[in-house]
Structure 1
Amino acid sequence: MLSSLWKKKVSLIVGIDIGSHSVKAVLLNQGNDGYILEALLEETMPRGAVIDREIQDIEAVGNVIAKIRKKITSSVTHAAAVSGQTVITKIIYMDVNLSEQELASQIEIEADSLIPYPLDEVSLDFESLDVNESDPSKINVLLSAARTESVEARVSALESGGFQTKVIDVESYAISRPYDLILSQLPDDAENKIVAMVDIGSVMTLFSVTEAGQHIYSRDQIFGGEQYTRSIVSYYNKTFEEAEFAKVSNDLPPNYTFEVLAPFHTVLVQQIRRAIQMFLTSSGKDKVDYLVISGGTASVEGVENLLTEELGIHTVIANPFKEMKKSDNIDMDKLESIAPKFMVAAGLALRSFSSWHI
């Protein structure tokens, strides 16, 4: 059961985001005046070690994590990661009078009809949320299920890299958890509005929505910055690695704006517009009030203004560390530009200060 990893209160946890291009790690501490950014690290992942958020080579991933382990203070050995691509979350309704043990037994019975996999292939966990408004005799319960092989691969990779796994989280909740950290970047009324958080990775985009700070919706879609990289490869006859470097360093010909950037901008707007429309249709909401963009692709030139103008939604690029104190080893010159790609890792690191999974 994932509960053995999720429910135990722990000390400081390193949030480790295992991606297809790199592993990103964040370590947070807490002082009297708020959070302190203690460490922010990224190590390149060998190509093919992680595909579509699933680990293909545990040893290779473990070796990358070990590089991070050597740079993190030795007193912190606990780590958190997300569970991978195949995760199912559902809100179910249970009798409000059930004890925790009775709830666990009943949920396993319910899960058999809700989860489209044999129960012996999945890891389950649940959390009691609040009393159902429509029926006070029921309580809303969040059920989470992940493929056990995916969970075990991450546990093995973290342990191979020198960490003890204390949390395996759901990515959409990890993205939503730093919500309070980015509120200062949004207008004053955002606290009670509908905010869509869009994390654009190399091959996958996670669209997660909060309303008044509560997570209400999430959806994955296959789209990411690798599309932009492959356009650079195609137009300028570069290797994939050369194209990645050129993209990050802006070392591109003057005409790249028309040849690769504008077409990518067009597709990016289409993808986010489609995600918003699917959310509005399924939720019955009228609009999204604000957009928060994170992930490596957030640093692509012009994204913030593009989405604000094309979608008519006030958009900001996420910096979860903006209001934090920073330790002396943080490179302040680089932090602003790289902060958006650490959104998931920051959400995982925040698990140091919460005993439940949301």
Structure 2
Amino acid sequence: MLSKLWNKNASMMVGIDIGSHSVKAVLISKSNGGYQLDAYAVEPMPKGAVVDRKVHDIEAVGAVVRKIRKKILSSVQNASVAVSGSTVITKTIYMDVSLNDDELASQIEIEADSLIPYPLDEVSIDFEKLDVNESDPSKVNVLLSAVRTETIEARVAALDAGGFHTKVVDVESYALSRASSLCIPMLPDDAADKTVAYIDIGATMTLFTVTEDGNNIYTRDQLFGSEQYTRSIVSYYNKTFEEAEQQKLSGDLPPTYTFEVLAPFQTTLIQQIRRAIQMYLTFSGKDKLDYLVISGGTAGLENIQELLTAELGIHTVIANPFNDMVISEQINEQALALVAPQLMVASGLAMRSFSPCHI
């Protein structure tokens, strides 16, 4: 069962976000009623070790995690990690409100057989009671999460090889939703009562989650990311993938790249975000979003905040989960600012140290 790892009473943990292009790690502690960033680390991932969020080379990922372990320099050995993509299934189901947890677990295993398109002996399942169903008070909304067991085992093995003990396996979209509370102070004063979308654009996967009045109400993953931008540089300027990645980060590209590569990618990016927003609006029946928060490596694109605000007509900010935190004296704040938008999921995972709930 996933619940063996999805521990509801977790101790201090390093949040580790395993991506296709890098591994990100964050360690957070409580400080005078708020949070303190104690350590963070970002290490590049060998190409092909993780593809479409699936670990293909446990040994290679473990070697990267070992580098993370050395950089974190902490006695904390427990870690939280996340799964995402096509191997993860989440559904809200409706169960009798009178069932206790044991009865609910038994009933859900019966229900799961018809809901999950994999043999149950290949799947790890967990569930979380949410709230009483508004339409039918005799029912309770229950969040069911299921993932291929081999997906969990690969991540656990990689973390074990890197010197960590996996305490919690979460879902990436839940981790992003949890970290959303860290960015509320960056938005106008009324944001806590408004509808806010958080979009984390990774190398190959985009996570889209929406909160309203501080509660998560919608999540969706889509296959799109900054790798498309890198591949355009590769094909346009006859570079290797590694050269393109480096020059993308350093800005060492021909002056003409702005309209040859950057502008077309920005157009595609806007289309993807607009499509995600429209799907949410159709699903929810709402007319608009109030605010938009962008994170991930793509958040570093020049003028992206202004561009999205202008094109989408939605007040947009670039995520910094550490904006309102105490920062450890050992951390270089200038270096942190450059990568902070990439650390949203890792921050949400680190917050599992203090959050016993599913998000």
TM-score band by shorter chain is over 0.9
Using the TM superposition, name which of 83-92 and 104-113 deviates more. 83-92
Amino acid at match of 2:14: V
Partner of residue 250, structure 2: 249
Q: Measure how far apart 1:181 and its partner are.
A: 0.7
Give the letter aligned to residue 303 of structure 2: G
Say whether the 8 Å CA contact 1:176–1:215 is kept in structure 2. Answer: yes
Q: Hey, what's the Cα distance between the residues in 1 that align with 2:108 and 2:90?
A: 13
Matched, 1:77 2:72: no
- Note the 1:250-289 alignment, pairs <5 A: 250-289=251-290
Query: For residues 24 and 181 of structure 2, what CA distance do their matches in structure 1 show?
Result: 21
List per-residue Cα deviations over 1:310-354 (Å, max 9, x = no partner). 010111110000110111221111222210001100000000001
Match for residue 117 of structure 1?
118
For 2:225 and 2:100, how far apart are their aligned partners in 1?
Answer: 44
Secondary structure at the residue paired with 2:253?
A: coil
Which moved further from structure 2: 315-324 or 203-212?
A: 203-212
Rounded to whole Å, the distance in 2 between the matches of 1:74 and 1:302 is: 36
Q: Which AA in structure 2 matches 1:25?
A: A
Q: Distance in 1 between matches of 2:252 and 2:218?
A: 38
Partner of 1:159: 160
1:266 maps to a residue whose letter is T
Q: CA deviation at 1:199?
A: 0.6
Match of 2:56 in 1: 56
Shift of 1:73: 3.3
Match of 1:7 in 2: 7
2:32 maps to what in 1?
Answer: 32
Amino acid at match of 1:158: L
Provide the secondary structure at the position in 2 that maps to 1:143. strand
Distance in 2 of aligned mates of 1:207 and 1:292:
10
Report runs of 4+ in structure 1 exceeding 3 Å deviation: none
Q: Does 1:22 align with 2:22?
A: yes
1:329 aligns with 2:330: yes
Work out the number of aligned pairs and report it.
Answer: 358
Q: Distance in 1 between matches of 2:31 and 2:333?
A: 20
- Structure-2-length-normalised TM-score: 0.97
Q: Tell me by how many angstroms 1:109 deviates.
A: 0.7
> Which stretches in structure 2 are left out of the alignment for 5+ residues?
none
Q: Does the Cα contact within 8 Å between 1:84 and 1:150 map onto a contact in 2?
A: no
Shift of 1:10: 2.2
Query: d(CA) in 1 for partners of 2:144 and 2:33?
Result: 35
Question: Conserved in 2, the CA contact under 8 Å of 1:49 and 1:61?
Answer: yes
Deviations 1:167-197 (A, max 9, x none): 1001111111012110011111111111111
> Does residue 169 in structure 1 map to residue 170 in structure 2?
yes
In 1, Cα distance between equivalents of 2:53 and 2:217: 23
Aligned to 2:97: 96
Which sits farther off after the overlay, 150-159 or 279-288?
279-288
The equivalent of 2:296 in structure 1 is 295
For 1:118 and 1:138, the matched residues in 2 are separated by 27
Separation of aligned partners in 2, 1:39 and 1:24:
11
Deviation at 1:30, TM superposition (A): 0.5
Partner deviation per Cα, 1:42-64 (whole Å, 9 max, x = no partner) = 11111100000000001110111
| Corresponding position: 1:144 with 2:145 | yes
2: CA distance, partners of 1:54 / 1:304: 30
Q: In structure 2, what residue type is equivalent to 1:231?
A: S
In 2, are the aligned partners of 1:7 and 1:357 still within 8 Å (CA)? no
Q: Distance in 2 between matches of 1:109 and 1:59?
A: 37
Q: Partner of 1:36: helix, strand, or coil?
A: strand
Residue 356 of structure 1: how far off its partner (Å): 2.5
Report SS of the residue matched to 1:29: strand
Q: Which amino acid aligns with 2:218?
A: Y
Which residue does the alignment assign to 1:233?
A: 234
Paired letter, 2:6: W
State the alpha-carbon separation in 2 of the partners of residues 53 and 135 from structure 1.
38
Determine the C-alpha separation between the residues in 1 that align with 2:115 and 2:323: 41
Q: Over the residues paired in the alignment, what is the CA RMSD in angstroms?
A: 1.1
Cα distance in 2 between the residues matched to 1:75 and 1:8? 22
- Is contact 1:93-1:141 (8 Å) kept? yes
Query: Is the CA contact 2:84–2:173 (under 8 Å) kept in the aligned structure 1?
Result: no
Q: Percent identity?
A: 70
Amino acid at match of 2:62: G
Q: CA deviation at 1:133?
A: 1.6
Tell me how far apart the structure 2 counterparts of residues 38 and 7 of structure 1 sit (CA, whole Å). Answer: 23
Question: Cα distance, 1:66 vs. partner?
Answer: 0.8
**What is the Cα deviation at residue 74 of structure 1?**
4.1
Q: 2-side partners of 1:186 and 1:84: how far apart?
A: 27
Asked if 2 retains the 8 angstrom alpha-carbon contact of 1:181 and 1:323, the reply is yes
Contact 1:7–1:356 (CA<8 Å) still a contact in 2?
Answer: no
